[in-house]
Amino acid sequence: MSEEKSLNFIEEIIEEDLKSGKHSSITTRFPPEPNGYLHIGHAKSICLNFGLAKKYGGQTNLRFDDTNPTTEETEYVESIKDDIRWLGFAWSNELYASNYFEQLYGFAVTLIKKGLAYVDDSSSEEIAEQKGTPTVPGTRNRFADRTMEENLQLFADMRAGKFADGSKVLRARIDMASPNMLLRDPIIYRIKHAHHHRTGDNWCIYPMYDFAHGQSDAIEKITHSICTLEFIPHRDLYNWCIENLGIYPSRQYEFARLNLTYTIMSKRKLLQLVNEGHVNGWDDPRMSTISGMRRRGYTASAIREFCDRIGVAKRENLIDFSLLEFCVREDLNKIALRRMVVFDPLKVVITNYPEGEEWLASENNPEDPAAGHREIPFSRELYIEREDFMETPAKKYFRLAPGMMVRLKSAYIIKCEEVVKDVNGNITEVRCTYIPESKSGADTSGINVKGTLHWVSVAHAVTAEVRLYDRLFKVEDVANAEGDFKDHINEASLTVLPNAYAEPALLNDTADDRYQFIRKGYFSLDKDSTPGKLVFNRTVTLKDGWAKEVKKG
């Protein structure tokens, strides 16, 4: 059976264009503004733009849309490049809208000469007023009557720095009565005496998005300029510029941006979280930034798979976070090394086990025999998870309880004989016996137990810091929730366990490794780790059928 995947609407357009001969190959672009870090929403756009070019044998430019020097920085340029590379994509050309400032200036002069642009001295308030409303046409002011020569001179003077910020703008002359507000003589150049991260102080006038983006596309001969829905009304202006400038006819297509439950997808809000200290930087593992997710332990292939599964369409959407979690688990399950780590220890003493130790083999990954085995020390005193013992077991609980037997992973079956408590009645120790014939891999005991626990030998345990993350927001649809988005921050999104007990094999592992702490979740080494101190981030929990059972009651 063929399992050809159906095409999304953009792929359909491209295939038609290729088939009809409109284009012989395609060129796309990813056009970030370097004013913040990339997030998972950008990943969707990156996968789309680069993925299309890859699929149809075209190319993709990385173009920084750097037309607003007051918000843009080189730091962001570097992080964006890092993130795209990490996601697994290679751009054909690294470009900047600021490369085209001279050309763009020329385009503006062309418009002036054609009588299609004029310098306006009005304040932004006046311009807004004259714009009218969606139902009331706007009006032109006296500046619109300036001669071509006057406009040319004034625009040159603007460039020469003769005017203060905000004192003049260049406007395209289109239609003050257009039902599309963007066509009511839009501002295309404004004065900003600001230092630009690439052009320095060469310019004090900068083009607006609408007078830079489409032209940049045209200059680069972008065949399919793909952007998000909010740019739909801009398309008329995009085309107007192309037609009146007579430049390469790039075409704009719009798709619905990604929204994810329990997260925000706005650079402005993300920046706020960073600046106000709600998180520890752009790469905080709780952030929906690419760098945050990377630090958290997400793999690039999981993110690509996610972007593939969510599809591309024009309707607004809010994707279940669980789909992202599914994609990471699916990937990590295949590659993560299994290790045993106890988060909240309860001591188990095996009363019939001799002094000393033995080393037991345990598979690194049951899904991948090629991953091999490691040796784990076993001894008389162990730690198990406190939640894996119940003095009076709940129904369907098949972990350790008085008189009950469980398997210790890769080791023996033990039976709980006695519970030791302190003066306050807190359980301090559980005393068990083990069944020597039940050794893992050589079990002749004939005993079947339902539960298998992870454990660590007390004498051999190494301590590690473990950071557990929960969702950053408490509501599903953060962007549309009542009140300020910060009202919905989950104060318990980070739990630090300073002293978890880990099997010693973890000491030898390296930063690139992914782990599954058995029965606990997927983890990866954090950059805060030092030779003397291991720090792990929980990428995602394991699916927890027991927790579900407990919740049902």
Residues recognised as catalytic? 33, 257, 267
215 binds RNA (CB under 7 A): no
Site for RNA in 15-54 (CB under 7 A): 31, 33
Which secondary structure element, helix H or strand E, spans residue 429, and what is its range?
strand 427-434
Least Cβ distance, residue 528 to RNA (angstroms): 25
Distance, in Å, from the CA atom of 263 to the CA atom of 481, rounded to the nearest integer, reads 12
State which residue, 378 or 469, has the beta carbon closest to RNA.
Answer: 378
Site for RNA in 456-515 (CB under 7 A): none
Find the length of the chain: 553
549 binds RNA (CB under 7 A): yes
Query: What value, to the nearest 5°, has the Cα angle with vertex 225 and ends 223 and 231?
Result: 150
Of 19-27, 76-84, 126-134, 294-302, which segment contacts RNA by CB under 7 A? 126-134
Check: CB of residue 118 under 8 Å from CB of residue 171. Answer: yes
State which residue, 35 or 153, has the beta carbon closest to RNA.
Answer: 35
103 binds RNA (CB under 7 A): no
State which residue, 27 or 68, has the beta carbon closest to RNA.
Answer: 68
365 binds RNA (CB under 7 A): yes
Among 128, 160, 447, 492, binds RNA (CB under 7 A): 128
Of 148-156, 184-192, 417-425, 500-508, which segment contacts RNA by CB under 7 A? 184-192
Classified as helix, coil or strand, 457 is strand
Among 187, 349, 494, 535, binds RNA (CB under 7 A): 187
Least Cβ distance, residue 313 to RNA (angstroms): 3
Among 366, 369, 372, 436, binds RNA (CB under 7 A): 366
Task: List the beta bridge partners of residue 27.
Answer: 59
Check: CB of residue 205 under 8 Å from CB of residue 165. Answer: no
374 binds RNA (CB under 7 A): no
Our CA dihedral for 237, 240, 246, 251, rounded to 10 degrees, sits at 60
234 binds RNA (CB under 7 A): yes
Our CA dihedral for 525, 528, 534, 536, rounded to 10 degrees, sits at -40
- What are the two backbone dihedrals, phi and then psi, of residue 288, each rounded to the nearest 5 degrees? -85, 15
Strand boundaries in 351-412, DSSP class E: 357-363, 373-379, 381-385, 405-408
407 binds RNA (CB under 7 A): yes
C-alpha pair distances (Å), 259 with each of 6, 377, 392, 486: 22, 47, 45, 17
Least Cβ distance, residue 227 to RNA (angstroms): 9
213 binds RNA (CB under 7 A): yes
- What are the two backbone dihedrals, phi and then psi, of residue 377, each rounded to the nearest 5 degrees? -75, 135
Contact string 375-404 vs RNA (x = CB under 7 A): ---------------------xxxx-----
167 binds RNA (CB under 7 A): yes
Binding-residue total with RNA (CB under 7 A): 95
Nearest in space to 68 (alpha carbons), one of 96, 43, 109:
96
Distance, in Å, from the CA atom of 292 to the CA atom of 351, rounded to the nearest integer, reads 47
Contact string 438-457 vs RNA (x = CB under 7 A): xxxx-x-------xx-x---
